[in-house]
Structure 1
Amino acid sequence: MASETPKPDPYLIDEDNRPLTDEEIAGLVSADEFFAKFGRFKDAPASAGQSQVTLRIDNDVLAYFETQSEDWPARINEELASLVRERKKAS
């Protein structure tokens, strides 16, 4: 008598981490191809007096800065620094 393989519990299947399909595997590209198409992240070293942080920004605000400058993180910092200077003057 052969033992049957038990069926997986459908409630335990993780749809977010399913195996790739053959079609998805065929569409994969190497890191070199990816970066040639989309460019590399420019991780500028922090200068003295700077801290690396993670924060949430509204999608429309981020989209605006991304369209204004290739170095949008630095541009956001400039805008915030300007706002802080203005508020310090006012107080």
Structure 2
Amino acid sequence: MEDSVYLKLTETARSTIDGKEAITVAVRLYDANGNLCLNANNLVHFTVVAPGALIDNRGTSRGSRVVQTYNGRSEISVHSNNGGSLVGPGVAGIRTAFYTLS
């Protein structure tokens, strides 16, 4: 596991998609010095633990279960389904981080 790189997740937006509340979560890759890894192009595999659901299979940069980072970041939108869900992006060789939707 690469200890010199870590993930940080943040909520970037709330909107309505398909008539339901959607929360957009961004994942960013940082080096050991806290600098955003602008040249990172890792694949991010997003998962969510119920009751939320990923908004995926749309073929877009925020609507796919697997997204390649650009400028050290990637995003996914999630139907919150009244909160309490856990979003977890997996990146090969980097410790997983989690974000709780509320």
TM-score for both structures, normalised by structure 2 = 0.21
**Bigger fraction of residues in strand:** 2
TM-score for both structures, normalised by structure 1 = 0.23
Task: Give the greater-gyration-radius structure (CA).
Answer: 1
**Bigger fraction of residues in helix:** 1
